[in-house]
């Protein structure tokens, strides 16, 4: 059983808890294949999507997952919110809670924003991405996808490529895959990949060929274009030459390697279109699996309240 009331990060979870989410995501995925894709599991509950940073895909995924569980969903997003009128995040969250929210899904540009709220809020909190800290449901859906494709994690060679230090997706994936027993390699420019990461039990390299060698899974990260001009890398063209995933580069990995990307993609900058749309790509399946995983997370957190 999940040991915590909230899902703040993968850091706080045990391998068992991660597997629990993955296994029940399997059951929810079966439901999503049915004609009637909705179950009454959380009927009467209220879910609030508190998205204070622009997001379409994650918010939509959570919204649909919540609807599939028969909850009432409210979207509360930055441009329309009172945050713009100077209200603090905590006051906004307390207001949402007072409206009767049972589950609050929070995305915020500050790392630790959900952790701060968890000290003041009684509703269940799900971290949908906080600053450059974590994005736990993305890591769970990635793990679910890997498990479906590769059967397990033990000894699996996973390369995570790109802007590691600024990527909450990378961090949640590192914790998750390490807990599940995978062999994780981080690849990227030294300005975006501090060697201290090795202390987490992963390897780091600036060489794409070295990182991709015999890899079972290649996880490409989105390059935030605003990093250009800040001294992290000279140009996107040079970035693609060194760390972009081209068809040719892909050959370094195992022939049945899967290619993942959390989206949205910068085609031609971190990933070539031919790879994104190619046979090894599981990028769209990740999106589908995201629904099942988010249903599983909401379902289990809610169950905690019943006990």
Give the footprint of other proteins on this chain (CB under 8 A).
11, 88-90, 108, 110-113, 115-116, 120, 130-134, 165, 168, 171, 194, 196-197, 199-200
Q: Spell 209-226 as b/e; 16+ CB within 10 A means b.
A: eebbeebbbbbbbbbbee
Residues in the chain: 307
C-alpha of 36 from chain center? 27
Q: What is the DSSP string of 101-138?
A: -SEEEEEESSTTHHHHHHTT--SEEEEEEETTTB-HHH
Minimum gap (Å) between residue 55 Cβ and other proteins: 17
Give, rounded to a whole angstrom, the gap between the first and last alpha carbons of the chain: 11
Identify the bridge partners of residue 217 per DSSP, sorted by sequence position.
Answer: 158, 258
Q: Which is nearer to other proteins, 11 or 227 (CB)?
A: 11
Minimum gap (Å) between residue 161 Cβ and other proteins: 17
Q: Which is nearer to other proteins, 32 or 116 (CB)?
A: 116
Q: Which is nearer to other proteins, 95 or 273 (CB)?
A: 95
Q: Which distant-in-sequence residues (6+ apart) come within 8 Å of 125 by Cβ? A: 6, 7, 8, 103, 104, 105, 106, 114, 117, 118
Minimum gap (Å) between residue 209 Cβ and other proteins: 25
Q: Which is nearer to other proteins, 59 or 108 (CB)?
A: 108
Minimum gap (Å) between residue 298 Cβ and other proteins: 24
Q: Which is nearer to other proteins, 166 or 267 (CB)?
A: 166
Minimum gap (Å) between residue 106 Cβ and other proteins: 11
Minimum gap (Å) between residue 58 Cβ and other proteins: 16
Q: Which is nearer to other proteins, 120 or 247 (CB)?
A: 120
Q: Which is nearer to other proteins, 146 or 170 (CB)?
A: 170
Strands (E), the chain: 46-51, 72-77, 103-108, 124-130, 157-161, 183-187, 203-205, 217-220, 258-260
Rounded CA gap, 159 and 221, in Å? Answer: 11
Rounded CA gap, 288 and 24, in Å? Answer: 15
Minimum gap (Å) between residue 110 Cβ and other proteins: 4
């Amino acid at each position: 059983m999940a040991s915590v009331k909230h899902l703040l990060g993968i850091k706080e979870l045990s391998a068992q808890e991660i597997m629990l989410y993955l296994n029940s995501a399997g059951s929810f995925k079966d439901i999503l294949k049915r004609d009637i894709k909705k179950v009454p599991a959380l009927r009467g509950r209220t879910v609030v999507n508190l998205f204070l940073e622009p997001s379409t895909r994650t918010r939509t995924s959570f919204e649909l997952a919540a609807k599939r569980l028969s909850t009432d969903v409210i979207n509360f997003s930055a441009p329309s919110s009172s945050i713009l009128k100077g209200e603090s995040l905590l006051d906004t969250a307390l207001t949402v809670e007072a409206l009767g929210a049972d589950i609050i899904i929070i995305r915020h540009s500050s790392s630790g924003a959900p952790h701060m709220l968890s000290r003041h809020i009684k509703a269940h909190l799900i971290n949908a991405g906080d600053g450059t800290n974590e994005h736990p449901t993305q890591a769970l859906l990635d793990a679910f996808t890997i498990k479906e494709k590769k059967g397990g994690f033990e000894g699996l060679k996973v390369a995570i490529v790109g802007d590691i230090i600024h990527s909450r997706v990378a961090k949640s994936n590192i914790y998750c895959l390490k807990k599940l027993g995978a062999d994780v390699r981080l690849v990227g420019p030294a300005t975006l990949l501090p060697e201290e990461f090795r202390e987490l039990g992963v390897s780091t390299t600036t060489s794409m060929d070295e990182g991709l060698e015999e890899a079972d899974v290649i996880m490409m990260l989105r390059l935030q274009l605003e990093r250009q001009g800040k001294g992290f890398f000279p140009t996107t063209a040079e970035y693609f030459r060194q760390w972009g995933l081209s068809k040719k580069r892909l050959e370094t990995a195992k022939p049945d390697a899967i290619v993942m990307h959390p989206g949205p993609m910068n085609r031609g900058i971190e990933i070539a279109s031919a790879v994104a749309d190619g046979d090894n790509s599981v990028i769209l399946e990740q999106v589908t699996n995201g629904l099942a995983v988010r249903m599983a997370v909401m379902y289990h957190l809610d169950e905690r309240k019943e006990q």
